[in-house]
């Protein structure tokens, strides 16, 4: 198929969302689709090789439009000016299908005539997470929630198809907005090639624990700092985040008297993330028991931990149980409990045989979550939806 992937943020970039988008379009190209990516101009100097540690698929072309958000005469919070530019470009380019993961952009593009069928990749129900963040909303918050609900309802009912990261996300879409457009569930993936070419480290000194990823509060990193109080033999490396959030967590570590055993490494170049994982002995995923942390997330780092054959301790949450089974390919701790996380980590430290068995099974299971397999699923889904609609392909064929 001839596809267009559109987003109002620069691609590529080092932010997790941009990393996921680049991996998605690269894999779609790898399995034979022709993909045109349209986004604002990249200003950071980031290239696909910085993310992928190799060149982008030859079937993928990056196209850049002016970023009108930076202009004084456009509202900073609005995607509308960029959406009009993108819509004009897409209309001229033409394609069999349009793939979008940004809700505001999807809303604007769906209201423009003459564009290809739009497939929306959903990563959360924004109205639900906003409601959880504002349990006692004032007038302003209520108005924002109503606007979110209107936008989500329109997109879910008017997109040609919906791609949801988890079954729980799709359930919540249906509960809040009714039966959406045709849908499929497609978890995130992992670059097995890059994982396989990363040298494995050998154990030395204290057990080395790792958290890799952003430091949003729903990620639950505070739990790991508290758990370290019960693990005097272990060190913890926290990779990601920056600025005030790291300073806040460092203060928490000092107050818990574990600061000397925690390294706040800050961000790492995406192409080096597997090297960071290789250097750890136990990898951690302490997501909070919220909708975004427990039902909607499909963490890139989880699949990367698994692909490197690392034993994982994660929260016992629905989204984690979609991938992990306690005692088979990971250990699952009680969400939000430092004591439970510490107990699981102690079990792994004290039982190298269990640790190796979990890591080996995780590596084997990771093969089911490679990006190219996900791309094949996306291609089949879009092909089937378009075929059922009776819409002829602009290029005379569907699928790769």
Q: Is the pLDDT of residue 258 over 90?
A: yes
Instruction: Give me the chain's average pLDDT, please.
Output: 92
Query: Averaged over 194-219, what is the pLDDT?
Result: 85
Q: Could you tell me if 267 and 341 lie in one domain? A: yes
Q: Could you tell me if 256 and 284 lie in one domain? A: yes
Tokens describing residue 49: 């090789």
Q: Could you tell me if 155 and 31 lie in one domain? A: yes
Q: Could you tell me if 282 and 196 lie in one domain? A: yes
Q: Could you tell me if 40 and 133 lie in one domain? A: yes
Whether residue 315 lies inside any domain: the answer is: yes
pTM of the full structure: 0.92
Q: Which pLDDT band, with edges at 50, 70 and 90, does 267 fall under?
A: very high
Query: Averaged over 329-358, what is the pLDDT?
Result: 97
Residues paired with residue 209 on neighbouring β-strands, in sequence order: 236, 282
- The CA distance from 115 to 88, in Å, is 9
Q: Are 383 and 399 in contact (CB under 8 A)?
A: yes
Q: What is the pLDDT of residue 293?
A: 96
Q: What is the pLDDT of residue 133?
A: 94
Q: Could you tell me if 248 and 350 lie in one domain? A: yes
Q: Could you tell me if 113 and 220 lie in one domain? A: no
- Note every long-range contact of 376-379, with CB atoms under 8 Å and residues 24 or more positions apart, other chains counting: 376/31, 377/184, 377/186, 378/24, 378/28, 378/99, 378/163, 378/184, 378/186, 379/1, 379/28, 379/31, 379/32, 379/33
Whether residue 58 lies inside any domain: the answer is: yes
Q: Are 139 and 271 in contact (CB under 8 A)?
A: no
Whether residue 400 lies inside any domain: the answer is: no
Whether residue 162 lies inside any domain: the answer is: yes
Q: Is the pLDDT of residue 93 over 80?
A: yes
Lowest mean pLDDT among 76-85, 274-283, 383-392: 76-85
Q: What is the pLDDT of residue 388?
A: 87
Q: Provide the greatest CA pair distance for the chain.
A: 66
Whether residue 399 lies inside any domain: the answer is: no
**Unique residue bearing structure tokens 């919070």:** 77
Q: Could you tell me if 289 and 157 lie in one domain? A: no
The residue range of the domain holding 280 is: 192-369
The number of distinct structural domains making up the chain is: 2
User: Domain containing 270 — which CATH number?
Assistant: 3.40.50.2000
Q: Could you tell me if 217 and 334 lie in one domain? A: yes
Tokens describing residue 9: 């943020």
Instruction: Determine the Cα angle at 336 with ends 283 and 189, to 5°.
Output: 40
**Unique residue bearing structure tokens 């409990």:** 337
Q: Could you tell me if 110 and 50 lie in one domain? A: yes
**Unique residue bearing structure tokens 């998605």:** 24
Tokens describing residue 38: 């349209």
Whether residue 9 lies inside any domain: the answer is: yes
Q: Between β-strands 34-40 and 60-65, what pairing exists: parallel, antiparallel or unpaired? A: parallel
- The CA distance from 318 to 324, in Å, is 10
Query: Averaged over 240-252, what is the pLDDT?
Result: 95
Q: Are 208 and 224 in contact (CB under 8 A)?
A: no
Q: Could you tell me if 344 and 262 lie in one domain? A: yes
24-83 residue pLDDT tens:
999 999 999 999 999 999 988 899 999 999 999 999 999 999 866 554 344 434 557 889
Whether residue 394 lies inside any domain: the answer is: no
5-27 residue pLDDT tens:
999 999 999 888 999 999 999 99
Helix H, strand E, coil C: the string for the chain is CEEEEECCCCCCCCCHHHHHHHHHHHHHHHCCCEEEEEEECCCCCCCHHHHHCCCCCCCEEEEEECCHHHCCCCCCCCCHHHHHHHHHHHHHHCCCEEEECCHHHHHHHHCCCCCCCEEEEECCCHHHHHHHHCCCCCHHHHHHHHHHHHHHHHHHHHCCEEEECCHHHHHHHHHHHCCCCCEEECCCCECHHHHHCCCCCCCCCCCEEEEECCCCHHHCHHHHHHHHHHCCCCEEEEECCCHHHHHHHHHHHHHCCCHHHEEEEECCCHHHHHHHHHCCCEEEECCCCCHHHHHHCCCHHHHHHHHCCCCEEEECCHHHHCCCCECCCEEEECCCCHHHHHHHHHHHHHCHHHHHHHHHHHHHHHHHHEHHHHHHHHHHHHHHHHHHHCCCCCCCCCCC
Other beta carbons within 10 Å of 134: 14
348-367 residue pLDDT tens:
999 999 999 999 999 999 99
Q: What is the pLDDT of residue 400?
A: 35
Q: Is the pLDDT of residue 372 over 70?
A: yes
**Length of the chain in residues, anyone?**
400
Whether residue 93 lies inside any domain: the answer is: yes
Q: Is the pLDDT of residue 238 over 70?
A: yes
Q: Could you tell me if 154 and 269 lie in one domain? A: no
Lowest mean pLDDT among 157-161, 323-327, 390-394: 390-394
Q: Is the pLDDT of residue 247 over 70?
A: yes
Query: Averaged over 251-255, what is the pLDDT?
Result: 97
């Amino acid at each position: 198929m001839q596809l267009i992937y559109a987003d109002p943020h620069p691609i590529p970039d080092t932010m997790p969302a941009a990393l996921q988008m680049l991996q998605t379009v690269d894999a779609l190209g790898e399995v034979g689709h022709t993909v045109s990516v349209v986004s604002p101009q990249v200003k950071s100097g980031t290239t696909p090789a910085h993310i992928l540690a190799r060149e982008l698929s030859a079937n993928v072309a990056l196209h850049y439009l002016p970023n009108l958000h930076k202009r004084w005469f456009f509202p900073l919070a609005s995607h509308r000016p960029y959406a009009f530019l993108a819509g004009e470009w897409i209309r001229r380019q033409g394609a069999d299908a349009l793939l979008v993961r940004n809700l505001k952009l999807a809303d604007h593009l769906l209201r423009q005539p003459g564009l290809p069928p739009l497939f929306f990749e959903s990563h959360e129900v924004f109205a639900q997470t906003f409601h959880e963040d504002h349990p006692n909303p004032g007038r302003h918050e209520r108005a924002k929630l109503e606007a979110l609900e209107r936008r989500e309802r329109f997109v879910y009912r008017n997109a040609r198809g919906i791609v949801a990261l988890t079954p729980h996300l799709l359930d919540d879409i249906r509960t809040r907005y009714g039966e959406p457009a045709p849908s499929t569930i497609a978890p995130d993936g992992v670059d097995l090639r890059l994982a396989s070419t990363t040298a494995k480290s050998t154990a030395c000194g204290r057990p080395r624990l790792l958290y890799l990823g952003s430091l949003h509060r729903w990620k639950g990193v505070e739990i790991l700092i508290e758990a370290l109080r019960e693990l005097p033999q272990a060190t913890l490396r926290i990779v990601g985040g920056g600025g005030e959030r790291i300073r806040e967590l460092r203060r928490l570590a000092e107050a818990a008297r574990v600061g000397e055993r925690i390294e706040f490494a800050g961000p790492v170049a995406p192409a080096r993330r597997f090297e960071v994982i290789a250097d750890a002995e136990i990898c951690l995923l302490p997501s909070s028991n919220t909708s975004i942390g427990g039902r909607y997330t499909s963490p890139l780092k989880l699949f990367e931990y698994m692909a490197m054959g690392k034993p994982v301790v994660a929260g016992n949450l629905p989204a984690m149980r979609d991938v992990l089974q306690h005692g088979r390919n990971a250990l699952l701790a009680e969400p939000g409990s430092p004591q439970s996380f510490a107990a699981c980590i102690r079990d792994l430290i004290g039982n190298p045989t269990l640790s190796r068995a979990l890591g080996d099974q995780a590596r084997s299971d990771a093969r089911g979550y490679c990006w190219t397999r996900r791309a094949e699923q996306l291609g089949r889904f879009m092909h089937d939806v378009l075929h059922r609609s009776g819409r002829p392909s602009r290029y005379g064929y569907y699928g790769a």
